[in-house]
Amino acid sequence: MVTGPSEIGIPEDIRDVVKGAVTGFIQFIDAEVLPLEQDLGDLLIDERKFFDENGKAVPEAMEARKQVRMKSAAAGYYGMFAPESVGGGGLGIRIMVFVEEAMYRKYGPGRPLITWAKGFLSQPTLASFVDGPSHMLVPVSETVRKEFMPSIASGEKTVCFALSEADAGSDVWGVQTTAKRDGDDWVINGSKTWITNSPYADYAIIFAVTDEEMIKERKGGMSAFFVETDAPGYSFDGVLPVMGHAGGDCGAMTFEDVRVPADRLIGAENQGFQIAMFGISEGRLSISANCVGMCGYALDRSLEYAQNRMSFGKPISEYQAIQFMLADMAIDIYTMKYMVLQTAALIEAATATGRLPVKEISMCKAYAVEKTQATYDRAIQVHGGMGLSNELSLNEGFRIARTLRIPDGTGEIQRRTIARQMLRGDTVF
C-alpha cells in the first residue's frame, strides 16, 4: 500500500523539498520513535500504568516525550514549519500538508502494538501552536525571544494556548480573565479550562481582557501574555479526562494576581484576538492535513483487508456493497486533500497582506473532520468484527475523529464563519 505522497499532486516548485522532508522525517520516526515506543510498550498499553491518580501521564512517559521532541528538534523536524524568527525551519504551509499527510497515512492513529496511547510519542515530533514554536509567537518581545524561545524551539520546554474558559469556548468574546496594568507589570486574574498541554506546559500564552468596553463592542480589547506556569498565583487545577480515557492532555488553570512584566505582552495591546485567531487558523489547517493522512491509513487497511478476507467463497472486495464503501472513502479523501492544498496555497499567497482565507480554512476543518469520522465508520464496517477490536486501531481512529470535531471550532462555528464571510461579500471560490 502507498504510505507517503507520490509525485502526483505535488506542485513542481516544492516537489524536491516535500520529497526530502517526507523521506527524512519518516526515517527519523522509524529510527528514533518506534524503538522507544517498543521499549515503553508495557507502559503505553496500560492506562493504569500510564496515568497517575490525578490523570497526568507518569514522569517516565513525559520524559520519553521530551526526549522525542528534543531529538526531533536537533534533527530539524520539530519546528520545521515555524518561522525562523522563533527558531523554526520556515517551511511553507503546503509542505506541512504533505508531511503531515504522509505521517498519518503511514502510522495512522497509531500502531497495532499500542492499543490506546496511539501516537503519544510520534505526535510530539512536530510542534504546533498548542505546545511549541509557531507563527503565533512571532510578535513576542525581544526579551521573550532571547530568554525563552531557544528552550521552546529545542523541545526542552513547552507552551500551552490558554484561551478557552467555562463560558468562553466557541464565543471567544466571552472571556472573563482580566489583565490590568500596575506600574511596570500586568496583573492577571481569572481562569481557563480545556487547555491542551496545560498539565505539562512550562509556559502559557494567556488571553485576557485589557479593555472592557472594546470587548463589549467586539472591537478588540483582549491581549495575549507570555506567562511562566510556576509564577506566583498561577495554579493548575487538574486534568480533564477525554472520551474513553482515565486522563488526558487537557486541563484547567486559575490565576490569582499573577504579575508579569510589561515586556511579556505579545504583540500590541488589545490585539490579542487577532493573535488567537492566527493560532487557531493554523491549528484548523493542521488538523485537516492530519485527517487526510488518517483517512488514507483507514483506506489502505480496508483495501488490504477486503482483498484478503474471504466470505462465501470469495474475497469481500468482490461484493458491490464493499466496493461502494471503498469508493466513497476515496472520493472523500480526494476532495479533502485538494481542498486543504488549495487553502494552504491561498494562505501562502496571503502572507504579504496578512489576510487569511478565513472561509476556506473553516471549510477545510468542517469537511475534513466530518468526513474522517465517516471514513472510519466505513473502515470499521468493511472489517466487521475486526474493526471493533483494538488490534487494528480503527476504533481509536473513530474516537479521535469524533474528538476532532470539537477543538479549534466546532462544525457549527465553522459554518457560521463561512456564512458570515459570504454575507460580507467574500463569495469567490
DSSP helix, strand, coil percent of the chain (3-state; round to 5): 50, 15, 35
In this predicted structure, the answer to whether residue 189 has a pLDDT above a threshold of 80 is: yes
Q: How far is CA 328 from CA 299, 334, 376, in A?
A: 10, 10, 12
pTM, full prediction: 0.92
One domain for residues 287 and 343: yes
The mean predicted confidence, pLDDT, of the chain is 92
One domain for residues 85 and 198: no
What pLDDT, on a 0 to 100 scale, did the predictor assign at position 259?
Answer: 98
Is residue 296 packed enough to be buried (19+ CB in 10 Å), middle (13-18) or exposed (0-12)? buried
Report the number of secondary-structure helices (H) and strands (E) in the chain.
15, 10
One domain for residues 53 and 177: no
pLDDT one-digit tens code per residue, 216-260: 999 999 999 999 999 999 999 999 988 777 888 999 999 999 999
Q: Is residue 6 part of a domain?
A: no
Q: Which triple of cell numbers denotes residue 28?
A: 527519523
Residue at grid coordinates 468542517: 366
The percent of residues in the chain predicted with pLDDT above 70, rounded, is 95
Instruction: Please report which confidence band the pLDDT of residue 352 belongs to, taking 50, 70 and 90 as the band edges.
Output: low
In this predicted structure, the answer to whether residue 117 has a pLDDT above a threshold of 50 is: no
Number of domains forming the structure of the chain: 2
Q: Quick one: how far is CA 329 from the chain centroid? A: 23
Give the CATH number for residue 183: 2.40.110.10
Last-in-domain residue among 240, 266, 292: 266
One domain for residues 186 and 117: no
One domain for residues 123 and 213: no
One domain for residues 113 and 174: no
Residue 403 belongs to domain spanning: 12-133+275-423
Which residue did the predictor score with more confidence, 3 or 242?
242
In this predicted structure, the answer to whether residue 5 has a pLDDT above a threshold of 80 is: no
Last-in-domain residue among 248, 266, 284: 266
In this predicted structure, the answer to whether residue 4 has a pLDDT above a threshold of 70 is: no
One domain for residues 284 and 397: yes
pLDDT one-digit tens code per residue, 48-93: 888 999 999 999 999 999 999 999 999 999 999 999 999 999 999 9
Neighbours of 406 (CB within 10 A): 16
